Structure 1
Amino acid sequence: MGEVKIRKINDGTIAILDTQAKEKGYASRQEYLQDLLEKIAREEYQFETDVRYQFLISQYNELIEWLLSEVTLNTDKKEV
């Protein structure tokens, strides 16, 4: 497992992190920060996946609209 060091964090921020870790039931600030970093990394991946999914859905919707307009157009021509 790799190691990450963050330097020069002010004491107030560290105190807040310690309080949050304790309130959330973590054994240590280290454990809390590891969990937060893992969530941040996964959320970025999830965001990119969501963007690709939304693009695919919009392309699919455009195709369906086009197909419906073609079917309607061809149906109207046959009725005339």
Structure 2
Amino acid sequence: MSKSKILMDRLAKLIEEGLITSKDIGEEIKNSLNYKKESIINKFNLVTRDEFEVQKARLDKIQEEFGKLKKRKKIKKAKKS
């Protein structure tokens, strides 16, 4: 017998005996899915939108400074020639 079949049989028995309601099952499934979602998100080490925007701004600034340095280097090289 598959695990899902065994689980369904156990749940059906608990419902029949009045020990658990469909609302309880729904809440348990909801909690389980939320836990799984949080677990997956944590594995990816995702950042918040604010953290992303800060890093993006820093990168843009660095790229701009790098572009200026490249221009200066070209100008110096042209003057030497």
TM-score with structure 2 setting the length = 0.47
Q: Which has the higher contact order (CA 8 A, sep 6+)?
A: 1
Task: State which structure, 1 or 2, has the greater radius of gyration over its C-alpha atoms.
Answer: 2
TM-score with structure 1 setting the length = 0.47
